[in-house]
Amino acid sequence: MSINQFGRLLTLTTWGESHGPAIGGVLDGCPPGINLDEAWMQRFLDQRRPGTSKNVTPRQEPDRIRILSGVYEGRTTGTSIGMVIDNVDARSKDYPVDAPYRPGHADYVYDRKYGFRDPRGGGRASARETAVRVAGGAIARLIIPDVSIEARVTEIGGESDAERWEALLDDTRRAGDSVGAIVECVADGVPVGWGAPVYGKLDADLAAACMGINAVKGVEIGAGFETARMKGSTSQDAMREGPDGPTFDGNMAGGIVGGISTGQPVIVRVAFKPTSSIRLPVPSINPSGGNAEAITRGRHDPCVGIRGAPVVEAMVALVLADHKLLHRAQCGDVR
């Protein structure tokens, strides 16, 4: 598995910097014969797209996806699907290479790891890359048509009452600050049996998928961290005979036990830290040495988690579709 690649059998390999000419990726391993057009993918990209409200960055990017291969006369052919999204509104002068390192951003570590970096808009570390994930996720959904995947923001800045979010975000933006968020994703319709023991666990793959999203600092499945504070007698989902097979009395497990899906909804919760780019000054250092203050003047979301929801959906879709194929490989179509 290469470092800019995600997945086992259904793999997404991406490329592109925030302010390069384009971003893109390759989805490989997709089954043949699936109806696919750019309009379907665009629908999901539009959900992630910047510039659509005052709470997300005003950078104007149409994020128009183009499929360049792997689809013939509206159906996937089984070959690799090349995708490109042109970068249109890239204002590179906002990002001088000699600006102080922005704390919370990857500037410093890229410079130290690679010796230098593309400083424009965060380069490869920009959340812009997630547009390609959303494109890949849109295709993944078609591989698992019986599964519905929905992610929503459940908390912003510690506030779970959605009616107070607007004011909170307004205040935050005015203060030049940012806030974190929690996104919950529910995948309904996952059959029992997807996943694999030990290192190919469905929850392990979901954890990698979501922790790898920009700004994510935590991932939990089902009752997650709460289970650590529970007793075994309450953390288990009792089973009973139902008319259509076993039913569960709850879903503390988040639909996964032993790394394998139970047939209940798969529930993943993801913690996004506050946007690292803020207008308030933060003590930092210059690339060439010496203390400095980092002040971000570029355009940014006050709460990156809001735009994170469609990305979480995409990553969950990619993992589930991948595990459907893995299960079919080992156990066949039956079951």
Which of 40, 42, 150, 285 is close enough to bind its own copies by CB under 8 A?
285
Tell me if 32 contacts its own copies by CB under 8 A. yes
Site for its own copies in 33-52 (CB under 8 A): 33
Which of 17, 61, 63, 313 is close enough to bind its own copies by CB under 8 A?
17
DSSP at 258: T
Assess contact for 87 and 19: CB atoms under 8 A.
yes
Q: Give the whole-angstrom CA distance, residue 256 versus residue 253.
A: 6
Q: How far is the CB of 190 from its own copies (least distance, A)?
A: 12
DSSP at 30: P
Site for its own copies in 151-190 (CB under 8 A): 155, 157-158, 172, 177-182
Q: Give the whole-angstrom CA distance, residue 199 versus residue 196.
A: 7
Assess contact for 96 and 81: CB atoms under 8 A.
no
Q: Give the whole-angstrom CA distance, residue 258 versus residue 256.
A: 7
Using alpha carbons, select from 32, 114, 144, 123 the residue that is nearest to residue 79. 32
Neighbours of 239 (CB within 10 A): 11
318: its two tokens: 């990619």
Which of 38, 40, 46, 82 is close enough to bind its own copies by CB under 8 A?
82
Tell me if 272 contacts its own copies by CB under 8 A. yes
Q: Which one of the spans 41-49, 54-62, 144-152, 218-226 is the region binding its own copies (CB under 8 A)?
A: 218-226
Q: Give the whole-angstrom CA distance, residue 312 versus residue 331.
A: 28
Per the annotation, binding residues for FMN are 124-126, 214-215, 258, 273-277, 299
Per the annotation, binding residues are 48, 54, 124-126, 214-215, 258, 273-277, 299
Half-sphere exposure of residue 203, counting CA atoms within 13 Å on the CB side?
A: 23
Q: Residues near 77 by Cβ (< 8 Å), separated by ≥ 6?
A: 32, 70, 71
Which of 44, 56, 57, 104 is close enough to bind its own copies by CB under 8 A?
104
Q: How far is the CB of 117 from its own copies (least distance, A)?
A: 6
Site for its own copies in 246-265 (CB under 8 A): 246, 249, 252-254, 257-263
Indicate the residue among 163 and 241 with the shorter CB distance to its own copies. 241
Tell me if 117 contacts its own copies by CB under 8 A. yes
Q: How far is the CB of 167 from its own copies (least distance, A)?
A: 15
Tell me if 271 contacts its own copies by CB under 8 A. yes
Tell me if 205 contacts its own copies by CB under 8 A. yes
